[in-house]
């Protein structure tokens, strides 16, 4: 019998809820390692103890098919208390560096939430510029349902952005690799050079 995919956990959120908190925002980014296009951060506040009828299968966006991600995306935006995304462009990445640009995308995602979170659960590393109490989790998109939801929001939004950019920059086939350093992408760079949305500060782009 085919089993349903394992969902991300809710233990971290339950600990915070039991301490008296209720508005817990999960945050994650997508596109940090790409050679072209923006970095996008998602921020999601789920209702306390969300029902498994709609959360089943929500997990690290990298482990989901496009159809699974889009289905989960629709459920998240329908059932979450609040959600938003923030974007840092390739120009900002070159100007500020990828780490600072990622922080900027996260700040923008947080700022657009219609409620102020009590606490932040962030995948990978802390957000140093936020006054909101927070905890960073390594592999957080596998451990926290809130972070996994944020990763899905960011991934679906960024993939759509790269598909739209593929129309403007047809030589690079951004719709297939989404700006990451695949062999096909590197071959296009060697043939046509960098476009205006490539990250010129990245070493793998500079040789072309």
Q: What is the pLDDT of residues 110-165, one digit of tens each?
A: 999 999 999 999 999 889 989 999 999 999 989 999 999 999 999 999 999 999 99
**Mean pLDDT for the stretch of residues 69-77:** 96
**To 10 degrees, the CA torsion angle through 102, 106, 174, 63?**
100
Q: What domains, with CATH codes, occur in the chain? A: 11-158 (3.30.420.10)
Say if CB 62 and CB 139 are below 8 A apart: no
CB contact set of 94 (below 8 Å; sequence gap of 6+) = 199, 200, 201
Of 202, 195, 182, 179, the residue nearest 93 (C-alpha):
202
| CB environment 187-204: b (16+ within 10 A), e (fewer) | ebbeeeebbebbbeebee
3-class SS of residue 135: strand
Q: pLDDT-derived band of residue 3, with 50, 70 and 90 as boundaries? A: very low
**Mean pLDDT for the stretch of residues 76-102:** 97
Q: pLDDT-derived band of residue 87, with 50, 70 and 90 as boundaries? A: very high
**Mean pLDDT for the stretch of residues 167-185:** 97
pLDDT of 5 reads 59
């Amino acid at each position: 019998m085919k089993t349903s995919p394992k969902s991300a956990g809710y233990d971290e959120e339950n600990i915070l809820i039991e301490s008296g908190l209720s508005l817990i925002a999960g945050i994650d980014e997508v596109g940090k390692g790409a050679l072209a296009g923006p970095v996008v951060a998602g921020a999601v506040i789920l209702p306390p103890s969300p029902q498994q009828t709609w959360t089943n299968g929500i997990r690290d966006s990298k482990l989901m098919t496009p159809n699974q991600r889009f289905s989960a995306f629709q459920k998240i935006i329908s059932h979450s208390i609040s959600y938003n995304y923030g974007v840092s462009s390739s120009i900002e990445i070159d100007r500020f560096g990828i780490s600072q640009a990622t922080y900027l995308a996260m700040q923008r995602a947080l700022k657009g939430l219609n409620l102020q979170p009590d606490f932040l659960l962030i995948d990978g590393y802390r957000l140093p510029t936020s006054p909101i109490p927070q905890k960073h989790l390594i592999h957080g998109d596998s451990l926290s349902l809130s972070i996994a939801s944020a990763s899905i929001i960011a991934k679906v939004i960024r993939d759509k952005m790269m598909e739209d950019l593929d129309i403007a920059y047809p030589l690079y086939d951004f719709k297939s690799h989404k700006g990451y350093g695949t062999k096909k992408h590197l071959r296009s760079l060697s043939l046509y050079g960098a476009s205006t949305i490539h990250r010129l500060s990245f070493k793998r782009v500079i040789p072309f």
